[in-house]
Structure 1
Amino acid sequence: MRWRIGFACSTCFTLLSAALPAAAQSKVEIGGLLDGGIYRGFEGTARLGTIQRSNLAIAGREDLGCGLQATFRLSARFDVDSGRMEDQGSKPFWHDESTVGLQGSFGHLRLGRALSAMWSQDWKFDPWANFNRIASPAWYQWHGLTPTDRYSNNGAAEYGRMANGIFYDSPSVAGFALHLSASPQRSQAPGSPRREGRGYSASLNYDSASLSGMLAFERNGSGDKDTFAAAKYRFGAAALMAAWDYTRVAESALSARAVTLGASYQMGSTTLKAGYGRQRLQQQSNHFYSVGADYALSKRSTLYASLGRKSYAHGADSGTAFGVGMAHAF
């Protein structure tokens, strides 16, 4: 694979003629995750399918010299039980990410569709990485009222990913890193002549050997706002984490506050997990409890079991879910 844009090391940022082929090395990788299991959903229905997310990704980078690299990433999500694309018909093919970027000592700048600054970092503070439909408190109680974009999935809401976006990840300085994302395009509902605002997101993160922290804010193009704060402490084989999330809808008085707690403990190839969440939605309190265990067959293959309980003020949303599955990263 060749890129036809290069940089002269003598001037570092002088653009060379596009007609000259780049003499730099390039690298392309294919990877992803396959996940499948048997589980009973919160509604009481037995299912075979994806408990976590399955995806296929193609990513690459080229050394441009002077410490610069050109990057790209294409990632699609699918249901391993049927082979169909996730939410086929509503989400784009490259739902997970489609970006091209430039990386150097200044950080990493990307253009395209990807997780917003807040969503790209918050998963670190949930024992299941906001990734397990049975056991993850984050899945059900974070960011519930404020989708990153209300219309970008062919008119449906998108929770997490910003389309038509600019993304920046700073280098780490004394453990601190800044993550920013924004769209220059105004949000617009299908069929509506009215254009709304522009969405943006920011996250400040701190990471050390034992302590991690995060403070983030996101506003979508419709004016809905989300404030998020979290911390994680690691000691030996154990980790404790806590998160606070406050979401509010722009055109109504509707808001929600959520507090989640989590813990994990590793014993050889087995990792035990536990989680709790309490969401205050207007005057209603919703509770979530979960436990689980992962067993690493290898660095890439994992067997896991998950149990979750929703105890919601609206009884129809309550229930218990449990299941077992296998995930293989490649």
Structure 2
Amino acid sequence: MKSARRVGWTIAAATMALSGAAHAQGSVTLYGIVDAGFQITSKTAGPNGTNAGRTFALTDGGAGPSVFGLQGREDLGGGLQAIFALESGIDVANGGFNNSNGNLFGRQAWVGLTGSFGTIKLGEQFSPFFLSVFASDPRTFSSFGSGIVLYGNNVFLTGAVNANAISYSSPTIAGFQGSALFAPGGIAGDFQAGRQWAASIQYDYGPLTINAAIYDGNAGGQATPVPTGVEFLGRTLGVSYRFSPLTLKASFTSYKVAGSFNDDVFGGGFDYAALPSLDLNGGVWYTTDRNNSNNHSLMGAAGVNYLLSKRTTLYTQIEVVNNHGAMNTGFSVSMPQLLFGVPGTAVGANVGIRHTF
């Protein structure tokens, strides 16, 4: 995080004596986000997709996930560095886990090497597909009314948090940068169970950015409880252009989910830094089921962020969703009952505070 509190240290002589390692310099960053707000919606999905009525509640992560984590690196010489990350999702409403796969460090837990050759990571991590969808989102994956709602509505955390994974990210060459990830399922005698792979490529040319990615994951495997639970094939293509202080984005994402929807999502929107302390953003997403065109939805959302300081932000957001057929686009990923919606038009809004450290 840009505003993270940084804690540095030099490895002590006693530690070197125990490990036999050569003297090196390292640093660790402790960082986090604490986000809470009030959320209201005109409709809420009940049993069998029925309308259970309005919801008004205190919610964790109204604008984005509440997390804490550690990142570290050690200089190994010759431009080579050892790196690691441990990150947990937390629920500020009740003190439990949230926004992860339910484990202590359910968002990220990896170690790797980085240098002029690129970066290699081993462990639980975000996939190149998920990061590409994020990069194309005009509302930076706000928990309320953004592309992350459609992602979660289709496949939960599959393809986002990837356990048992190894990834490689290349250096940027002539504006191009690529990444690839592979995660075996770990089931004896069944190489395909839980197998996941993803790849992405991004091109930057001044204010223009184009990115594309693919994800292919099978059900099963040893990763629990969520990451390999939904079998799907994902594709995405996005473009953004910066007219400082205005950024425009457009994207196409496909979620072909086994035994369920085959959704195409067309999205676009803007982010406008109106003042150093004021940010305005908005987006529209149209989702249609290729298996049945009667299933479709339109979601629109807008947000206002007011920066009280570099670390503390007040925000308010509004969202409108219109569902047809069996489509069930919801409002938010921060509350399970709001991830899925009901037929017809529904309106929601939230207001909250977000602090980073």
Distance in 1 of aligned mates of 2:90 and 2:260: 36
Once the 2 structures are TM-superposed, how far is the Cα of residue 309 of structure 1 from its aligned partner?
Answer: 0.8
Distance 1:255 1:313 in 2: 15
Residue 306 (structure 2) aligned to one of 274, 295, 319: 295
Q: CA deviation at 1:87?
A: 7.0
The one-letter code sitting in structure 2 at the alignment partner of 1:35 is D
The CA distance in 1 between the partners of 2:152 and 2:254, in whole Å, is 7
Report how far residue 297 of structure 1 moved.
1.6
- How much does 1:139 deviate? 2.1
Q: Matched residue of 2:342: which SS?
A: helix
Q: Shift of the alpha carbon at 1:226?
A: 0.8
CA separation in 1, counterparts of 2:300 and 2:187?
Answer: 36
Matched, 1:95 2:122: no
CA distance in structure 2 between the aligned counterparts of 1:306 and 1:172, rounded to whole angstroms: 36
Supply the RMSD in Å over aligned alpha carbons: 2.6
Aligned residues: 301
Q: Is the 8 A contact 1:49 1:81 kept in 2?
A: yes
CA distance in structure 1 between the aligned counterparts of 2:158 and 2:11, rounded to whole angstroms: 34
Question: For residues 81 and 69 of structure 1, do their structure 2 counterparts lie closer, same or farther at Cα, with a shift above 3 Å needed?
Answer: same
1:126-180 residue CA offsets vs partner (Å, 9 max, x unmatched): 12212322x21x0233475446xxxxxxxxx645111000011111112211011
Q: Aligned partners of 1:34 and 1:26: how far apart in 2?
A: 27
Larger displacement relative to structure 2 (310-319 or 175-184): 310-319
Worse-matched range after superposition: 123-132 or 47-56: 123-132
TM (norm. structure 2) is: 0.78
**Which of the residues 257, 268, 271 maps onto 1:249?**
257
Residue 247 of structure 2 corresponds to residue 239 of structure 1: yes
Q: Determine which of 54, 59, 62 is the counterpart of 1:49.
A: 59
TM-score, normalised to structure 1's length?
0.84
Report how far residue 254 of structure 1 moved.
3.9
Residue number in structure 1 paired with 2:227: none
Give yes or no for contact 1:99–1:110 (8 Å, CA) kept in 2: yes
5 Å matches for 1:1-330? 2=11, 20-41=20-41, 42-43=43-44, 44-50=54-60, 51=62, 52-86=64-98, 91-133=102-144, 135-136=145-146, 138-142=147-151, 144-146=153-155, 158=158, 160-186=160-186, 196=193, 198-222=195-219, 224-250=232-258, 252=259, 254-268=261-275, 269-281=277-289, 282-283=292-293, 284-314=295-325, 316-317=342-343, 318-330=345-357
Distance in 2 (alpha carbons) for counterparts of 1:278 and 1:213: 20
SS at the partner of 1:21?
coil
Please say if residues 177 and 206 of structure 1, whose CA atoms lie closer than 8 Å, have aligned partners that are also in contact.
yes
| CA contact 2:132–2:213 (8 Å) conserved in 1 | no
Name which of structure 1's ranges 302-311 and 252-261 shifts more when overlaid on structure 2: 252-261
